[in-house]
Amino acid sequence: MIKQPLPRIDQDETLQKLLLPFCRLKKGEIWEDALGIHKVGCLDAVNNKDINKLFERKKAVLAIHDPPYNFVAFKERELKEFINWCKTWVKNSYNILKPNSSLYIWLGADQKFHFQPLPQFIQMMSETEFNSRSFITMRNQRGYGTQKNWMSVRQELLYYIKGNPKFYVEAEYTDIPKVLKGYYKTVKGEKTDNPGRSKSKFIRAGNVWVDVQQIFYRMEENVNGCYAQKPIKSIIRIIEASSKQGELITDIFSHSGATLISAELKNRKCYTIDIDPVFCEITIRRLERLRKQGKTGWQNSNPFADEIKKSRKIKSYLKQYYNLIYD
Ligand SMILES: C[S@@+](CC[C@H](N)C(=O)[O-])C[C@H]1O[C@@H](n2cnc3c(N)ncnc32)[C@H](O)[C@@H]1O
């Protein structure tokens, strides 16, 4: 049972308006971390002035982006328009990345509509300066069952590079013990184990990740009110494979702040933005909570629980529309 639940904030304009007074950023503003490490901007990913304002000529070594790709979020926007929109933020990303850097993009594929927008997005990327490097699939355990189709459990993650960035392969090992000793090789006509191939006792993640748990309400890192939270474990894997400690990374669709939190945990700097002041506030509060209480999320509570408890108006709204009781 969630004690202090919060419904999806992005789908409820009234709730969003009720939470706005508790948000410290207005559109166009940037919050700078008191320790001078991270930045959170209430900015637009397709506005290059916004992006330049955030970066002030600094460049990142890694970008991890998770655009809103479901068409409900886009108010039924045409696919072509969506791809053009993506083209613009991809270009903005290119400009804030170092000459040798990595770009990861979480993307969905609608199996009822020819897997869009995945093929169109990949086609668009082929016309940019980025080169493709890997097409990762993460097992998304929250998949919905159906009697008429394979259960949908995949989450796509595209990996592109600019120039020739470093890839830190050690980071790519899972905590899954290796059952087989190694690959077979033939020595003087005899098939033998080849344990020298890798000294690790654990298997590599490869481009199919089956060891990352999708977020759900019983996990500490859960952020109620967010709808598209990516697991910290997956982002840490990306960060450790494609950046070093102290380096600057970025995410221009922050939402729950998962990239910034992962950066903080792994001693990277993170400049992140969200167009929505509520998600900027959640990102900032999540960092503050991590620093003060060592917690990565809210599990059974939510980022605005204290304010909601004090507000009769929000409490009665949540009760009336969602039958949620706050005491
Ligand atoms: C799919 S969510 C990202 C989830 C995130 N990776 C996480 O783990 O929490 C997309 C986010 O992009 C934000 N967004 C939508 N359009 C944007 C834009 N033009 N510029 C910046 N952020 C935008 C939305 O408000 C939403 O919070």
CA–centroid distance, 158 to ligand 1, in Å, is 17
Cα separation of 307 and 182, whole Å? Answer: 56
Average pLDDT, the chain: 91
| Top-confidence residue, 259 or 218 | 259
Cα separation of 129 and 94, whole Å? Answer: 8
Query: Can you say whether residue 166 is alpha, beta or left, with left for phi > 0 and alpha for psi between -120 and 50 degrees?
Result: beta
CA–centroid distance, 180 to ligand 1, in Å, is 41
Cα separation of 8 and 215, whole Å? Answer: 15
Counting from 1 in the atom list of ligand 1, the atom nearest the Cα of 85 is 19
At 160 the pLDDT is 98
Nearest to 270 by CA among 4, 40, 82, 78: 40
At 131 the pLDDT is 98
As assigned by CATH, the class of the 9-322 domain is alpha beta
CB 212 within 8 A of CB 234: yes
pLDDT (mean) for 261-290: 98
Cα separation of 210 and 8, whole Å? Answer: 27
Query: Where are the domains positioned within the chain?
Result: 9-322
Cβ neighbours of residue 97 closer than 8 Å, sequence gap 6 or more? 59, 60, 61, 63, 103, 162
Provide, for the chain, the percentages of residues in helix, strand and coil under a 3-state DSSP scheme, each rounded to the nearest 5: 35, 20, 45
| 64-68, 144-148, 165-169: range with lowest mean pLDDT | 144-148
CA–centroid distance, 274 to ligand 1, in Å, is 6
pLDDT in tens, 95-143: 999 999 999 999 999 888 899 999 999 999 999 999 999 999 999 876 6
pLDDT in tens, 171-183: 778 888 887 665 5
CA–centroid distance, 205 to ligand 1, in Å, is 26
- pLDDT at 267 exceeding the cut of 60: yes
Counting from 1 in the atom list of ligand 1, the atom nearest the Cα of 254 is 5
Pocket of ligand 1 (CB under 6 A): 44-46, 66, 68, 226, 228-230, 252-253, 255-256, 258, 273-276, 279
Cα separation of 248 and 20, whole Å? Answer: 29
CA–centroid distance, 253 to ligand 1, in Å, is 4
| 97-101, 103-107, 285-289, 300-304: range with lowest mean pLDDT | 300-304
pLDDT (mean) for 310-326: 91
pLDDT (mean) for 75-98: 90
